[in-house]
Amino acid sequence: MIHIFGQNADGRNYVISLTAEKFSVNFAHIFRMLREQKEQRQHEKQQREKQANAKQHET
């Protein structure tokens, strides 16, 4: 049994438990989801920075 521990963006912890057979199938999907979450957070951060810069130029 393989256990993957993590934390959601809202701070909640989670555990994904997989058997070895499922692990190889789900491994790519899990990392794709994690990469998409990371890209989403980076995009949100860039949007906040753009808004902050726009407000600085207004004043």
The separation between the first and the last C-alpha atoms of the chain, rounded to the nearest angstrom, is 57
Domain ranges of the chain: 2-58
* pLDDT averaged over every residue in the chain: 86
List, in sequence order, every beta strand (DSSP E) within the chain.
Answer: 2-7, 13-18
What phi-psi label fits residue 9: left (phi over 0), alpha (psi between -120 and 50 degrees) or beta? alpha
SS3 content of the chain, % helix, strand, coil (to 5): 65, 20, 15
pLDDT at 25: 67
Per-residue pLDDT tens over the stretch 14-32? 998 878 776 666 778 888 9
- 8 Å CB contact between 4 and 18: yes
